[in-house]
């Protein structure tokens, strides 16, 4: 799209385009950041902080260790399988500084999922938290792995605390199932070997792969998105410009409850480093009481999260009593932020959730609402140097919706073009051809653009429910159900129906234990037209979710039909 009508509604000071070539590579970004903020704290986890200078030294040691391993060469893939620990950024920057490619792995993977990702990526080395080593043990023989580096939770903590944390996790809480992997090297041993060895700096170029970032697999087999250093650096600049208007160098404290192995947290964490920010890595965000306690220890100014996390915090005792005066920016992504959650968050914290949009395949940021804007149900405006277009099934561009006429005629697939878009799927030209077309990334998300260049998602193509020929979008139904005061959270899918083809099913986690099916349907009847009403209501104790809190609608669909209300 050439006219980029959204530019007229850009916030003051936001440029139409960015320079994606300010840094040669991510290691170049790290080097320049460390030179500026060497003594500043970089990452905090489990009561311990490392500075930018320490991050540089530790990652240098790990890079040297990797370069000294037999059979390892520039461009080789190194997988990291761990939650948010200090070891994560150390290993990540170490891999990149060695001229190799990072493969981020969800530590909750089953043996089958882990085997697929290691085989598909061709990873030769893996850094793994020993809590999950038993999973690797089951499949290692059928993977191309040559080297395994194991770490314990407390490995980068001071000596006394390291010993205590590792002892409690292993011997008291018994969180480490028995495992045996021949030739495995301990993470601290790897750092020591690297420290004693030679590090050969690699002049990494823009076009080299930085990450093989695997899609969540919520709609099919997980695929490795090839993200170059330029892809990531472009997105760091795009998102950074959008959110950093009030940032002060060396002063921001970022809360990172989402896992670094997910693209949303990964890119945002790298972005905040440019200001010499301190990132507080949260290892277990599901422990909401502990998270609230930790939040009370910091004058935090930035947080990234997803709807389920925000909702969970709002319903955790003590959160309302925190001091939110330092808070500047809260970014919501990964899934739609529901109106009821956004409005209550603003009421409690005094700050709006800025809803953003992107995909693994776009590094991920593509769209964002202006900072401080109240919830409006949209994903906002395309970021600088980014074009968005609504396309029909024949890939024809659809016009903006002016508010008049049939909105369905203006609704199509959202497509993205920009320097942050991946180069393709690893070793998968067939799947690449399905989503990359003439420089555009076909997202699989349905939506429309208004006359001001603001985009709204209606749903994913595969999640749309077709009721008697009418399109029903789960996001809309979920937002309505979530408004009921007796609902904690919910998920909506379509289920087969003899009369209408499909019918709407809502799965609800109660806040009020006395909430009934009849009450849910009656509430929906006040806000939704007849064909959108849930025909099936099911109550559960919890919803199936991805590691970052996105509801797995596929699993809801696969469940047995519930009783009708």
Q: Is residue 74 part of a domain?
A: yes
Contact 308, 338 (CB under 8 A): no
Distances (CA, A) of 347 to 351, 353, 478: 8, 11, 21
DSSP code per residue over 140-168: GGGS---EEEEE-TTTTS-HHHHHHHHHI
Q: Is residue 60 part of a domain?
A: yes
Contact 445, 460 (CB under 8 A): yes
d(CA 63, CA 89) in angstroms, rounded, equals: 12
Of the candidates 228, 229, 281, the one whose C-alpha atom is nearest the C-alpha of residue 424 is 228
Query: Of 152, 183, 204, at which residue does a domain stop?
Result: 204
Q: Which domain holds residue 469?
A: 465-558
Looking at residue 529, its pLDDT comes to: 81
Q: Is residue 310 part of a domain?
A: no
Residue 7 sits at φ, ψ, to 5 deg, of: -60, -30
d(CA 392, CA 410) in angstroms, rounded, equals: 9
In the numeric block, the tokens 């882990």 are attached to 114
d(CA 104, CA 211) in angstroms, rounded, equals: 8
Looking at residue 218, its pLDDT comes to: 40
In the numeric block, the tokens 């208004």 are attached to 450
Distances (CA, A) of 150 to 99, 129, 289: 21, 6, 29
Contact 364, 235 (CB under 8 A): yes
d(CA 144, CA 123) in angstroms, rounded, equals: 6
Q: Fill in the DSSP letter of residue 336.
A: P
Of the candidates 260, 188, 293, 206, the one whose C-alpha atom is nearest the C-alpha of residue 29 is 206
Q: Is residue 220 part of a domain?
A: no
Q: From first to last of its 565 residues, what are the pLDDT tens digits of the chain?
A: 458 999 999 999 999 999 999 999 999 999 999 999 999 999 999 999 999 999 999 999 999 999 999 999 999 999 999 999 999 999 999 999 999 999 999 898 888 889 999 999 999 999 999 999 999 999 999 999 999 999 999 999 999 999 999 999 999 999 999 999 999 999 999 999 999 999 999 999 999 999 999 985 444 467 999 999 999 999 999 999 999 999 999 999 999 999 999 999 999 999 999 999 999 999 999 999 999 999 999 999 999 998 889 999 999 999 999 999 999 999 998 778 889 999 999 999 999 999 999 999 999 999 999 999 999 999 999 999 999 999 998 999 999 999 888 888 999 999 999 999 999 999 999 999 999 999 999 999 999 999 999 999 987 777 888 887 677 878 889 989 999 999 999 999 999 887 777 899 999 999 999 999 999 999 999 888 888 999 999 999 999 988 888 888 888 887 744 444 4
DSSP code per residue over 491-515: EEEEEEETTTEEEEEEEEEESSTT-
Strand partners, 505: 493, 536
Q: What is the CB neighbour count within 10 angstroms for residue 76?
A: 19
Of the candidates 476, 474, 467, 445, the one whose C-alpha atom is nearest the C-alpha of residue 554 is 474
Q: Is residue 185 part of a domain?
A: yes
* First CA to last CA distance, the chain: 47
Looking at residue 561, its pLDDT comes to: 44
Q: Is residue 1 part of a domain?
A: no
Domain count, the chain: 2
d(CA 533, CA 70) in angstroms, rounded, equals: 61
3-class state of residue 389 by DSSP = strand
Task: State the pTM of this model.
Answer: 0.88
Q: What is the CB neighbour count within 10 angstroms for residue 557?
A: 15
Looking at residue 467, its pLDDT comes to: 85
Query: Of 158, 177, 204, at which residue does a domain stop?
Result: 204
Produce one character per residue of 249-261: b if its CB has 16 or more CB atoms within 10 Å, e if not: eeebbbbbbbbbb
Query: Of 169, 184, 204, at which residue does a domain stop?
Result: 204
Q: Is residue 363 part of a domain?
A: no
Residue 518: give its domain's CATH number: 3.30.300.30
Residue 84: give its domain's CATH number: 3.40.50.980
Cβ neighbours for 156, distance < 8 A, ≥ 6 positions apart: 48, 50, 58, 85, 86, 87, 90, 162
Looking at residue 562, its pLDDT comes to: 44
Contact 226, 426 (CB under 8 A): yes
Q: Is residue 147 part of a domain?
A: yes
Produce one character per residue of 274-291: b if its CB has 16 or more CB atoms within 10 Å, e if not: bbbbbbbbbbebeebeeb
3-class state of residue 314 by DSSP = helix
d(CA 160, CA 164) in angstroms, rounded, equals: 6
In the numeric block, the tokens 């021949």 are attached to 182
């Amino acid at each position: 799209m050439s006219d980029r009508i959204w530019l007229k509604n850009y916030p003051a000071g936001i440029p139409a385009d960015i320079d994606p070539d300010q840094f040669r590579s991510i290691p170049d970004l790290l080097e320049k950041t460390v030179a500026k903020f060497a003594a500043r704290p970089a990452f905090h986890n489990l009561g311990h902080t490392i500075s930018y200078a320490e991050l540089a030294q530790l990652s240098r040691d790990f890079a040297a260790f990797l370069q000294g391993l037999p059979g390892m060469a520039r461009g080789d893939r190194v997988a990291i399988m761990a939650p948010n620990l200090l070891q994560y950024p150390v290993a990540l920057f170490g891999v990149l500084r060695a001229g190799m490619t990072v493969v981020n792995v969800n530590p909750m993977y089953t043996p089958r999922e882990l085997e697929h990702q290691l085989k598909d990526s061709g990873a030769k080395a893996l850094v793994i938290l020993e809590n999950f080593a038993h999973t690797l043990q089951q499949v290692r023989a059928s993977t191309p792995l040559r080297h395994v580096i194991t770490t314990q939770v407390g490995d980068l903590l001071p000596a006394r605390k390291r010993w205590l944390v590792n002892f409690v996790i292993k011997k008291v809480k018994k969180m480490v199932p028995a495992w045996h992997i021949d030739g495995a090297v301990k993470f601290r041993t790897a750092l020591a070997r690297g420290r004693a060895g030679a590090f050969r700096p690699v002049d990494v170029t823009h076009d080299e792969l930085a990450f093989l970032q695997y899609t969540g697999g919520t709609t099919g087999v997980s695929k490795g998105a090839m993200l170059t250093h330029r892809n990531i650096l472009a997105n760091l600049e795009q998102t950074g410009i959008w959110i950093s208007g009030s940032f002060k160098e060396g002063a921001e404290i970022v809360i990172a409850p989402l896992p670094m192995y997910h693209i949303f947290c990964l890119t945002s964490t790298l972005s905040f480093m440019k200001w010499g920010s301190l990132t507080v890595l949260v290892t277990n965000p599901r422990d909401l009481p502990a998270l609230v306690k930790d939040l009370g220890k910091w004058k935090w100014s930035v947080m990234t999260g997803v709807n389920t996390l925000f909702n969970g915090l709002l319903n955790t005792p003590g959160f309302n009593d925190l001091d939110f005066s330092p808070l500047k920016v809260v970014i919501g992504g990964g899934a739609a932020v529901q109106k009821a959650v956004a409005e209550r968050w603003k009421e409690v914290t005094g700050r709006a959730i800025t809803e953003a949009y992107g995909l693994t395949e776009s590094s991920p940021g593509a769209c964002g609402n202006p900072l401080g804007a109240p919830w409006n149900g949209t994903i906002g405006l395309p970021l600088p140097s980014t074009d968005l277009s609504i396309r029909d099934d024949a890939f024809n561009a659809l016009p903006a919706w002016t508010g008049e006429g049939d909105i369905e005629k203006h609704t199509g697939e959202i497509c993205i073009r920009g320097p942050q878009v991946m180069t393709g799927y690893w070793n998968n030209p067939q799947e690449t051809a399905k989503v990359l077309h003439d420089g555009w990334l076909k997202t699989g998300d349905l939506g429309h653009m208004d006359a001001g260049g603001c985009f709204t998602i209606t749903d994913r193509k595969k999640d749309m429910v077709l009721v008697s020929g009418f399109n029903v979008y789960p996001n809309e139904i979920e937002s309505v159900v979530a408004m009921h005061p007796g609902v904690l959270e919910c998920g909506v899918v379509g289920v087969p129906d003899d009369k209408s083809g499909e019918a709407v099913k809502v799965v609800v986690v109660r806040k009020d234990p006395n909430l009934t099916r009849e009450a849910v349907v009656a509430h929906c009847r006040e806000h939704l037209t007849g064909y959108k009403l849930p025909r099936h209501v099911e109550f559960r104790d919890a919803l199936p979710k991805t590691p970052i809190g996105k509801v797995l609608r596929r699993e809801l669909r696969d469940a047995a039909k519930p009783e009708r209300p």
